[in-house]
Amino acid sequence: MKVHNFYAGPSILSEFAVEETIKAIKNFANTGLSLMSVSHRSKEFVAVMDEVQQLFKELLNIPEGYSVLFVGGGASTQFAMIPMNIMQKKAFFINTGAWSTKAIKEAKAFGEVVEVSSKDKNFNYIPKNYEIPTDADFVHITTNNTIYGTEFKEDIDSPVNLVADMSSNIFSRTIDVSKYAIIYGGAQKNLAPSGVTFVIIKNEILGKVERHIPTMLNYETHIKKGSMFNTPPVVPIFVALQTLKWIKNNGGLAAMEKMNIEKADLLYNEIERNSLFEGTAAKEDRSLMNICFVMKAEYKEFSAEFLAFATEKGMIGIKGHRSVGGFRASTYNALPKESIEALVDTMQEFEKMKS
């Protein structure tokens, strides 16, 4: 039986990235050494770091004046690191869920925080008709929400520095990096296994705050040392490189976006058609990466049964987050369309059993 990986993260990686990493773990770059035990200062790994940064810039069309960093601590460390480095008095947050809420908590340690929120409807939509205060040091958005299944579909215009947590939808669609001051995220969704965090940062926004910034939490430290101030997580960075090669070889971001729309449409159409299920996110804000749905009220009693049935069919990781319930299919770049088709077949078979 084929297993279909719908986990929200750590999540599915392309077969290419997995196979190339297996080879490197056994013998990295013909050194006779394992990737897991090679020096990060070796010329072979320095070449990996250089290439992964170059591919970031190429695939995302990153303008001059930006740095691409790889750091530790997960996106959660960035929640504090960002305001520590660029917040002087005030920040504005568009709060769309759990991760935004955690980022707000950290920012409050560095100044005033103003927010708009979709909490009134359990974060099932993206706030609209807000005004970004021009005296804010930055505005922060989480572009995709893994728990609630909502997503910003466009790069918003901002009169102040725009900061985005793109942990779960980086490289899933084309973006205009020039609209952002900082883009960051944990790699364990669409890029690599957990253990490394990427940061794309506009260099000119740094060096303006008066507070002392600890060395390891200062972006300028990592820019000056090329993400090598301390030992970087070698294996996840190598996997990220293989993922970016795979994306490039398969047509780049335009191709990823087209494929992701096709996959999402296939599943959303079935959710709407199927008499047992309904989606939880506002239609105009539905995520391409994390598709959340539940049993309709009159069929709630079948929820556990469907989860068990789907698991028996090889659908792994579709249980919804505890704050939402129901089901969640995470459809990251590396998830093949056949996995969506298998889930749709499973939903249709279960519907026939209950009709």
Residues with a known catalytic role: 99, 165, 189
Q: Check residue 320 and report its DSSP letter.
A: P
Query: H or E element: which one contains 59?
Result: helix 43-60
- Say whether 237 sits in a helix, a strand or coil: helix
Question: 168, 190 in Cβ contact below 8 A?
Answer: yes
Q: Check residue 35 and report its DSSP letter.
A: G
CA-nearest of 145, 134, 140 to 110 is 140
CA-nearest of 40, 41, 44, 22 to 31 is 44
Residue 66: strand pairing partners = 202
Query: H or E element: which one contains 90?
Result: strand 90-95
Q: Which two tokens stand for residue 290?
A: 């994390």
| Residue 197 CB partners (closer than 8 Å, separation 6+) | 70, 71, 72, 73, 74, 75, 77, 78, 184, 185, 186, 187
Q: Which two tokens stand for residue 160?
A: 């102040």
Q: Which residue, chain included where needed, has tokens 């993260």?
A: 9
Distance between CA 2 and CA 315 in Å, rounded?
9
Cis peptide bond prior to 159, omega within 30° of 0: no
Q: Which two tokens stand for residue 220?
A: 């300028």
